[in-house]
Amino acid sequence: MNGSQQAPDALAMRSAGALAYIEAEMDSLEEQLQQAPDWRPARMLLAELDWLRGKVRELADAWDRKLVVAIAGPSGAGKSTLLNALAGRELSRTGLQRPTTREVVVYAAARSDAEHLLEHLGDGAAEVHVAADARPLESFLLVDTPDTNTLPENQRLLARVLERADLVLAVFPVQNPKMLDNIAFLEPYVRHLPDGAVTPVLNMVDRVPREQLDEIVADFRVAIDRQWGREPGRVFLVSALEGVRDNGAAGGLPADERPLHDVNELRELEDLLFSSLN
Protein backbone atom coordinates (compact mmCIF):
# COMPACT_ATOMS: atom_id res chain seq x y z
CA MET A 1 0.00 0.00 0.00
CA ASN A 2 1.44 3.41 -0.96
CA GLY A 3 1.56 6.53 1.20
CA SER A 4 -1.49 8.14 -0.39
CA GLN A 5 -3.55 5.08 0.51
CA GLN A 6 -2.22 5.00 4.05
CA ALA A 7 -2.97 8.64 4.79
CA PRO A 8 -6.79 8.36 5.01
CA ASP A 9 -6.50 5.32 7.28
CA ALA A 10 -4.06 7.15 9.57
CA LEU A 11 -6.35 10.19 9.66
CA ALA A 12 -9.33 7.97 10.46
CA MET A 13 -7.43 6.35 13.33
CA ARG A 14 -6.43 9.75 14.78
CA SER A 15 -10.00 11.00 14.45
CA ALA A 16 -11.40 7.89 16.13
CA GLY A 17 -8.92 8.37 18.96
CA ALA A 18 -9.92 12.02 19.34
CA LEU A 19 -13.62 11.12 19.49
CA ALA A 20 -12.93 8.42 22.08
CA TYR A 21 -11.04 10.98 24.20
CA ILE A 22 -13.95 13.45 23.94
CA GLU A 23 -16.42 10.76 24.97
CA ALA A 24 -14.29 9.88 28.01
CA GLU A 25 -14.14 13.56 28.99
CA MET A 26 -17.92 13.82 28.65
CA ASP A 27 -18.37 10.74 30.85
CA SER A 28 -16.19 12.35 33.53
CA LEU A 29 -18.06 15.65 33.31
CA GLU A 30 -21.44 13.93 33.50
CA GLU A 31 -20.37 12.02 36.60
CA GLN A 32 -19.29 15.25 38.30
CA LEU A 33 -22.54 17.02 37.40
CA GLN A 34 -24.64 14.16 38.73
CA GLN A 35 -22.83 14.49 42.05
CA ALA A 36 -24.17 18.05 42.36
CA PRO A 37 -27.95 17.61 41.95
CA ASP A 38 -28.72 20.79 43.92
CA TRP A 39 -26.50 23.00 41.75
CA ARG A 40 -28.96 24.91 39.57
CA PRO A 41 -26.90 25.02 36.34
CA ALA A 42 -26.34 21.24 36.43
CA ARG A 43 -29.60 20.38 34.64
CA MET A 44 -28.88 22.81 31.81
CA LEU A 45 -25.31 21.56 31.48
CA LEU A 46 -26.47 17.94 31.39
CA ALA A 47 -28.87 18.83 28.56
CA GLU A 48 -26.02 20.50 26.67
CA LEU A 49 -23.90 17.44 27.31
CA ASP A 50 -26.62 15.19 25.89
CA TRP A 51 -26.76 17.37 22.77
CA LEU A 52 -22.97 17.19 22.46
CA ARG A 53 -23.05 13.38 22.71
CA GLY A 54 -25.45 13.34 19.78
CA LYS A 55 -23.11 15.52 17.72
CA VAL A 56 -20.15 13.26 18.53
CA ARG A 57 -22.16 10.23 17.40
CA GLU A 58 -23.01 12.08 14.19
CA LEU A 59 -19.31 12.79 13.60
CA ALA A 60 -18.45 9.14 14.10
CA ASP A 61 -21.23 7.99 11.77
CA ALA A 62 -20.44 10.64 9.16
CA TRP A 63 -16.81 9.70 8.51
CA ASP A 64 -17.62 8.04 5.18
CA ARG A 65 -20.46 10.38 4.22
CA LYS A 66 -20.28 13.32 1.87
CA LEU A 67 -20.45 16.78 3.37
CA VAL A 68 -23.87 18.42 3.51
CA VAL A 69 -23.77 21.98 2.15
CA ALA A 70 -27.05 23.77 2.87
CA ILE A 71 -27.91 27.00 1.06
CA ALA A 72 -30.18 29.09 3.30
CA GLY A 73 -31.61 32.57 3.24
CA PRO A 74 -34.71 34.69 2.63
CA SER A 75 -36.96 34.73 -0.41
CA GLY A 76 -35.41 36.51 -3.37
CA ALA A 77 -31.81 36.06 -2.25
CA GLY A 78 -30.91 33.93 -5.28
CA LYS A 79 -30.24 30.67 -3.43
CA SER A 80 -31.15 28.41 -6.35
CA THR A 81 -29.08 30.50 -8.75
CA LEU A 82 -26.10 30.23 -6.41
CA LEU A 83 -26.56 26.46 -6.22
CA ASN A 84 -26.50 26.27 -10.02
CA ALA A 85 -23.38 28.42 -10.17
CA LEU A 86 -21.57 26.22 -7.65
CA ALA A 87 -22.66 23.05 -9.46
CA GLY A 88 -21.42 24.38 -12.79
CA ARG A 89 -24.74 23.63 -14.47
CA GLU A 90 -28.44 24.30 -14.06
CA LEU A 91 -29.67 21.84 -11.46
CA SER A 92 -32.27 23.90 -9.61
CA ARG A 93 -35.18 25.80 -11.09
CA THR A 94 -35.12 29.51 -10.32
CA GLY A 95 -37.51 32.43 -10.13
CA LEU A 96 -41.25 31.73 -10.27
CA GLN A 97 -40.67 28.03 -11.01
CA ARG A 98 -38.54 27.54 -7.91
CA PRO A 99 -40.17 24.85 -5.71
CA THR A 100 -38.10 25.24 -2.57
CA THR A 101 -40.10 27.98 -0.87
CA ARG A 102 -41.92 25.06 0.78
CA GLU A 103 -39.68 22.01 0.41
CA VAL A 104 -36.15 20.69 0.52
CA VAL A 105 -34.38 19.61 -2.64
CA VAL A 106 -31.18 17.58 -2.28
CA TYR A 107 -28.76 17.34 -5.21
CA ALA A 108 -26.50 14.30 -5.13
CA ALA A 109 -24.29 12.20 -7.40
CA ALA A 110 -26.25 9.12 -6.28
CA ARG A 111 -29.42 8.75 -4.25
CA SER A 112 -27.59 6.58 -1.73
CA ASP A 113 -25.43 9.61 -0.81
CA ALA A 114 -28.53 11.36 0.56
CA GLU A 115 -30.11 8.47 2.48
CA HIS A 116 -28.86 9.59 5.89
CA LEU A 117 -30.30 13.08 5.35
CA LEU A 118 -33.63 11.73 4.05
CA GLU A 119 -33.90 9.48 7.09
CA HIS A 120 -33.38 12.46 9.39
CA LEU A 121 -35.91 14.66 7.55
CA GLY A 122 -38.64 12.02 7.43
CA ASP A 123 -40.82 10.54 4.70
CA GLY A 124 -41.76 12.88 1.89
CA ALA A 125 -39.92 15.87 3.35
CA ALA A 126 -37.37 16.18 0.54
CA GLU A 127 -36.84 15.52 -3.13
CA VAL A 128 -33.58 14.05 -4.37
CA HIS A 129 -32.25 15.03 -7.79
CA VAL A 130 -29.40 12.88 -9.04
CA ALA A 131 -26.77 14.54 -11.23
CA ALA A 132 -23.85 12.14 -11.48
CA ASP A 133 -21.98 14.40 -13.92
CA ALA A 134 -21.98 17.54 -11.70
CA ARG A 135 -18.39 17.62 -10.42
CA PRO A 136 -18.99 19.17 -6.96
CA LEU A 137 -21.48 16.41 -6.15
CA GLU A 138 -18.60 13.96 -6.16
CA SER A 139 -17.69 15.51 -2.80
CA PHE A 140 -20.84 17.21 -1.43
CA LEU A 141 -24.57 17.14 -1.16
CA LEU A 142 -25.94 20.53 -2.21
CA VAL A 143 -29.24 21.28 -0.46
CA ASP A 144 -31.68 23.96 -1.62
CA THR A 145 -33.83 24.88 1.37
CA PRO A 146 -37.11 26.64 2.19
CA ASP A 147 -36.87 30.38 2.70
CA THR A 148 -36.01 31.62 6.17
CA ASN A 149 -38.97 34.02 5.91
CA THR A 150 -41.52 31.33 5.13
CA LEU A 151 -44.35 29.75 7.15
CA PRO A 152 -43.51 28.20 10.54
CA GLU A 153 -43.95 24.63 9.30
CA ASN A 154 -41.48 25.29 6.49
CA GLN A 155 -39.06 26.91 8.93
CA ARG A 156 -39.22 23.74 11.04
CA LEU A 157 -38.24 21.72 7.97
CA LEU A 158 -35.39 24.12 7.27
CA ALA A 159 -34.26 23.72 10.88
CA ARG A 160 -34.14 19.93 10.41
CA VAL A 161 -31.81 20.40 7.44
CA LEU A 162 -29.55 22.76 9.36
CA GLU A 163 -29.24 20.18 12.15
CA ARG A 164 -27.42 17.92 9.68
CA ALA A 165 -25.50 20.56 7.72
CA ASP A 166 -21.70 20.58 7.77
CA LEU A 167 -21.53 23.95 6.03
CA VAL A 168 -24.27 26.58 5.68
CA LEU A 169 -24.10 29.27 3.02
CA ALA A 170 -26.26 32.10 4.44
CA VAL A 171 -27.30 34.03 1.33
CA PHE A 172 -28.72 37.55 1.42
CA PRO A 173 -29.56 40.00 -1.39
CA VAL A 174 -27.10 42.87 -1.50
CA GLN A 175 -29.93 45.34 -2.11
CA ASN A 176 -31.44 44.57 1.33
CA PRO A 177 -29.02 42.45 3.35
CA LYS A 178 -29.95 43.55 6.88
CA MET A 179 -33.07 41.37 7.08
CA LEU A 180 -32.84 40.97 10.84
CA ASP A 181 -35.45 38.22 11.33
CA ASN A 182 -33.69 36.09 8.74
CA ILE A 183 -30.26 36.72 10.24
CA ALA A 184 -31.63 35.91 13.70
CA PHE A 185 -33.18 32.64 12.49
CA LEU A 186 -29.69 31.26 11.84
CA GLU A 187 -28.26 32.26 15.24
CA PRO A 188 -28.76 28.88 17.02
CA TYR A 189 -26.88 27.09 14.23
CA VAL A 190 -24.06 29.63 14.31
CA ARG A 191 -23.77 28.95 18.04
CA HIS A 192 -23.65 25.15 17.72
CA LEU A 193 -21.64 24.73 14.52
CA PRO A 194 -17.86 25.24 14.41
CA ASP A 195 -16.50 28.71 13.67
CA GLY A 196 -16.81 29.46 9.99
CA ALA A 197 -19.37 26.71 9.31
CA VAL A 198 -22.04 29.38 8.65
CA THR A 199 -20.66 31.52 5.85
CA PRO A 200 -22.37 34.83 4.96
CA VAL A 201 -22.84 35.47 1.24
CA LEU A 202 -24.08 38.70 -0.35
CA ASN A 203 -25.57 37.89 -3.74
CA MET A 204 -26.36 40.06 -6.77
CA VAL A 205 -23.48 42.41 -5.97
CA ASP A 206 -23.26 43.35 -9.66
CA ARG A 207 -26.57 45.20 -9.29
CA VAL A 208 -25.22 47.95 -6.99
CA PRO A 209 -22.41 50.42 -7.79
CA ARG A 210 -18.94 49.26 -6.83
CA GLU A 211 -18.32 52.30 -4.63
CA GLN A 212 -21.30 51.36 -2.39
CA LEU A 213 -20.13 47.82 -1.61
CA ASP A 214 -17.70 48.67 1.20
CA GLU A 215 -20.38 50.53 3.16
CA ILE A 216 -22.97 47.78 2.54
CA VAL A 217 -20.59 45.08 3.74
CA ALA A 218 -19.60 47.07 6.84
CA ASP A 219 -23.25 47.63 7.83
CA PHE A 220 -24.04 43.96 7.14
CA ARG A 221 -21.18 42.80 9.35
CA VAL A 222 -22.47 44.98 12.20
CA ALA A 223 -25.98 43.50 11.83
CA ILE A 224 -24.58 39.94 11.90
CA ASP A 225 -22.39 40.69 14.92
CA ARG A 226 -25.40 42.01 16.84
CA GLN A 227 -27.68 39.11 15.95
CA TRP A 228 -25.18 36.23 16.16
CA GLY A 229 -23.15 37.55 19.06
CA ARG A 230 -19.89 37.11 17.18
CA GLU A 231 -18.08 38.93 14.42
CA PRO A 232 -18.43 37.06 11.13
CA GLY A 233 -15.45 35.86 9.18
CA ARG A 234 -15.25 36.62 5.51
CA VAL A 235 -18.39 37.87 3.76
CA PHE A 236 -18.37 36.62 0.17
CA LEU A 237 -19.54 39.00 -2.55
CA VAL A 238 -20.99 37.06 -5.45
CA SER A 239 -23.01 37.44 -8.58
CA ALA A 240 -24.44 33.95 -8.91
CA LEU A 241 -26.28 34.80 -12.12
CA GLU A 242 -23.02 35.84 -13.77
CA GLY A 243 -21.58 32.53 -12.60
CA VAL A 244 -24.13 30.50 -14.57
CA ARG A 245 -23.98 32.58 -17.74
CA ASP A 246 -21.65 31.64 -20.56
CA ASN A 247 -18.62 33.87 -20.96
CA GLY A 248 -19.56 36.93 -22.97
CA ALA A 249 -23.29 36.39 -22.58
CA ALA A 250 -23.69 39.64 -20.65
CA GLY A 251 -22.92 41.63 -23.76
CA GLY A 252 -26.29 40.65 -25.23
CA LEU A 253 -28.28 41.65 -22.16
CA PRO A 254 -30.49 44.73 -21.91
CA ALA A 255 -28.59 47.69 -20.48
CA ASP A 256 -30.46 47.57 -17.16
CA GLU A 257 -29.42 43.92 -16.61
CA ARG A 258 -25.73 44.21 -17.39
CA PRO A 259 -23.33 44.00 -14.44
CA LEU A 260 -22.23 47.35 -13.04
CA HIS A 261 -18.73 46.00 -12.26
CA ASP A 262 -16.76 42.77 -12.25
CA VAL A 263 -16.63 42.04 -8.50
CA ASN A 264 -17.55 38.37 -8.07
CA GLU A 265 -16.00 36.08 -5.45
CA LEU A 266 -17.76 32.94 -6.65
CA ARG A 267 -14.47 31.14 -7.39
CA GLU A 268 -13.22 31.96 -3.89
CA LEU A 269 -16.46 30.56 -2.45
CA GLU A 270 -15.91 27.37 -4.44
CA ASP A 271 -12.40 27.17 -3.00
CA LEU A 272 -13.89 27.42 0.49
CA LEU A 273 -16.17 24.46 -0.20
CA PHE A 274 -13.35 22.25 -1.38
CA SER A 275 -11.00 23.36 1.40
CA SER A 276 -13.67 22.26 3.91
CA LEU A 277 -13.01 18.68 2.81
CA ASN A 278 -9.75 18.91 4.74
pLDDT for the residue 14: 65
Q: Tell me the C-alpha distance between 258 and 242, whole Å.
A: 10
| CA 6/CA 56 separation, integer angstroms | 24
Q: What is the pLDDT of residues 21-70, one digit of tens each?
A: 888 888 999 999 999 888 988 888 998 888 888 878 776 666 668 889 99
Among the three residues 61, 93, 108, which one is the final residue of a domain in this structure?
Answer: 61
104 shares a domain with 10: no
| CA distance linking residue 49 with residue 55, whole number of Å | 10
HEC per residue, 94-154: CHHHCCCCCCEEEEECCHHHHHHHHHHHCCCCEEEEECCCCHHHHCEEEEECCCCCCCHHH
Instruction: Quote the DSSP letter at residue 201.
Output: E
CA-CA distance, 128 to 52, in Å (whole number)?
Answer: 29
Confidence bin at 7 (pLDDT 50/70/90): very low
d(CA 265, CA 237): 5
56 and 94 share one domain? no
Q: How far apart are CA 79 and CA 91, in angstroms?
A: 12
Looking at the predicted structure, is the pLDDT value of residue 3 above 50?
A: no
Tell whether 127 and 252 lie within a shared domain. Answer: yes
Question: Which domain, by its residues, includes 71?
Answer: 67-275
CA distance 178 to 176: 6
Q: Are residues 57 and 139 in the same domain?
A: no
Is the domain of 116 the same as that of 16? Answer: no
Residues 38 and 119 in one domain: no
Residues 232 and 266 in one domain: yes
Q: Which of 61, 76, 105 is the last residue of a domain?
A: 61
The reported pLDDT for the residue numbered 15 is 64
Q: Count the domains in the chain.
A: 2
pLDDT attached to residue 278 = 62
Please tell me whether residues 7 and 98 are part of one structural domain. Answer: no
Give, for 168, the enclosing helix (H) or strand (E).
Answer: strand 167-173
The answer to whether 180 and 224 have CB atoms below 8 angstroms apart is no
The DSSP code for 200 is E
* 162 and 242, same domain (yes or no): yes
**Cα–Cα nearest to 77, from 125, 143, 145:** 145
Q: What is the pLDDT of residues 219-258, one digit of tens each?
A: 999 999 999 988 888 999 999 888 766 433 344 455 567 8
Q: What is the pLDDT of residue 206?
A: 94
Looking at the fold, whether 54 and 79 belong to one and the same domain comes out as no
Same domain, 75 and 28: no
Give the integer Cα–Cα distance in Å for 187 and 198.
10
Average pLDDT over residues 214-222: 94
